[in-house]
Structure 1
Amino acid sequence: MVFRNNSMTARPTAAARIADTGPAVQPAPAMAPDTAALPESALFTLSYLNKDALKPSPIEPSWILEGDPKARCNNLSSFGDDWTFVDHWSCTSGKFRWRYFYDETILILEGEAFITDDNGVRYHAVPGATLSFPDGSAANWEIPSYVRKIAFNQKPVPSYLHKFCRLINKIQKNIFN
Structure 2
Amino acid sequence: MRRKHRRLVSNPELDITPFLNLMIVLVPVLLLGMVFTQIRMIELNFPGMEAGEAPAADDLRLVVALIPEGLEVLDSERGVIKTLPLVEGEQDFDGLRETLKLIKKRVPDKTDIVLEVGPDIDYQTLVTTMDTLRSYPAVIAASVVEGELFPDVALADSPEDRVLSGTGEGA
TM-score past 0.5 threshold: no
Larger Rg: 2
Greater helix percent: which structure?
A: 2
- The one of the two structures with greater contact order (alpha-carbon pairs below 8 A, sep at least 6) is 2
Structure ranking higher in strand proportion: 1
TM-score normalised by structure 1 residue count:
0.28
